Structures are given as C-alpha cells and as structure tokens.
Amino acid sequence: MSSRSRVLHAVEERMVKVRAVPDVERDGSINLDRWLAMMAESNPDFDQVRLRQACELIERVDQESLRTTGPWAASLSSFRTGLEMADILSELRIDEDGLVAAIVYRAVRENQITIDYVHNQYGTEVADLVSGVLRMAEIGEVRTETTRVLGIRLDQLEQARRMLITLVDDVRVALIKLAERTCRIRAVSPDTRVRQLKLAREVFDIYVPLAHRLGVG
C-alpha cells in the first residue's frame, strides 16, 4: 500500500466513526486519567507528565472560557477538540511534540492562551508547529472565500496545495491541520449534509495530498 493510501485509509477510518469524545463520564466530564493511560499504552516512550500538564492547562482555560460563553459552547470545547485531535494523530504515529501541539492548538486559535505562552511552556518546536497550523488556517479561509470547494477546478486545487506547501516545511503541521478538519467534520450537525461534504472534500482534496507530498511514509 502506498504512503498516500495508508494516510487516506487511516484518516477515513477515523472520519467515518460517529463523533465521540474520548472517555466521557455519565455527567459529561472527561476521564483524563483514563485517556492518558490509553496514550501511555500507545506511546510508552512519551513524557506522560508533559502530556498531562498540557491537558490540564487546556482543561483549565477551557473551563474559564465556558463560564463566560455558556454550556451551549461545550461542543466547541478546546479541551475536547484537543484530545480528539491527539487521538487521531496518535493513530498516525505523530511524535510527542506533535501531540502536545495538537492538544494546545485550539486554545491558541480561540485566544485562550498565546503562542508566546506555548513557547515558554513547551518549547520552540511545539510553538512552531502551532504557528504553522495557524498559517495553514489563514490560507484555507482565503481559499474557501474565493472558490467553491465542491466542484473546484483541478488547477485551483493545485494552486491551493502549492500555496500551503510554501508555508509548511514540517509534515506534522499538515497532519495536525488534517486532524483539526476531521474533528470539524464530526462536529457539524448531521442535518447540514452539504457542510459536511464541503469539509470532507477540503480534507481529501487539499490536506491529505499535502501530507503525502511532504513525505508521510
């Protein structure tokens, strides 16, 4: 199986599953200890204390944010999204810095923490990964404002891919963005089928080929 096929297969398996936040208790809270134990089993060489610290930070800032936005925003939780992204990326065998970047990314994008804070707490590499994903998000937003994702011409797709490649020099950035868009697809209400298809096409037409071109093996 080719490298592109392996990525497509792994992502497709994750995308077709019903959205499920990892290790949710009956009261709606997440069992972080159980989730971290699962991560430790899958990634025994990773610094589990570092992963826990990242999770607890995002859980704390997310709870502070939810107190002002209200319970209706729980489905947009940076904490839950971060764990779900990390689940996907763990299956794609991303490294420890990639997992930490995935956990904190949404909180940075939602202005719950700053990129400088990420740099100080988790180092240059994690901060650079988060910054790279943020730059990809900016390009994606410009592209979707000026073109139609469904029915987009091949030359437009190629142009978008090339624009992103010029910004991405680390395949982990593309994989984190891929995981984020996958989570976004799952978060879309099932009754908005057109929106789901639009996001799915964006993932498979732009981000999966991009990951392949950057050398996913």
* CATH assignment at residue 84: 1.10.3210.10
Give the domain extent around 137.
3-213
Q: E strand or H helix at 84, and its extent?
A: helix 78-91
Total structural domains within the chain: 1
pLDDT at 175: 87
Long-range contacts of 74-81, Cβ-Cβ distance < 8 Å, separation of 24 or more = 74/28, 75/187, 76/187, 78/106, 78/107, 78/110, 78/112, 79/30, 79/55, 79/107, 80/21, 80/30, 81/106, 81/180, 81/183, 81/187
pLDDT band at 187 (very low <50, low <70, confident <90, very high): confident
User: pTM for this one?
Assistant: 0.75
Report the phi/psi class of residue 70: left, alpha or beta, with left for phi > 0 and alpha for psi in -120 to 50.
Answer: left
Task: Please write the tens of the pLDDT for every residue from 107-129.
Answer: 999 999 999 999 999 999 999 99
Of residues 110, 16, 23, the one with CA closest to residue 61 = 110
The more confidently predicted of residues 19 and 52 is 52
pLDDT band at 25 (very low <50, low <70, confident <90, very high): low
Identify the weakest region by mean pLDDT among 20-24, 38-42, 199-203: 20-24
